Amino acid sequence: MPQDFKPIGAEMEAFALFYTAKLLNKKASCLMSVVDSKYIETVATPSERQNGLNNMIKLALESSIKC
């Protein structure tokens, strides 16, 4: 990894999702949230995790209705 590269997150599962969709000629989408990262020192509290997840689920459901 380049020394000047400063990532705040890492992800692998969405790549598999999008790659599989491409192979099958399908559409795919992904909604991700980051609550902790080995690249930053700030850690989400249990309350922040719970409320953030609830907001993410609500946003996902509302977005799927509009599609």
For residue 26, count other CB atoms closer than 10 A to its CB. 9
Within 13 A of 54's CA, how many CA atoms are on the CB side? Answer: 6
Domain range summary for the chain, segments of one domain joined by + = 42-67
pLDDT of residue 21: 95
Please give the Cα distance from 5 to 65 (Å, whole number).
38
User: What are 32's two structure tokens?
Assistant: 């991700």
Residue 17 host element (H or E):
helix 13-23
Model confidence pLDDT, tens digit, residues 37-47: 776 777 788 88
Model confidence pLDDT, tens digit, residues 3-52: 887 766 667 788 889 999 999 999 988 877 766 677 677 778 888 877 87
Per-residue pLDDT, averaged over 49-63, amounts to: 82
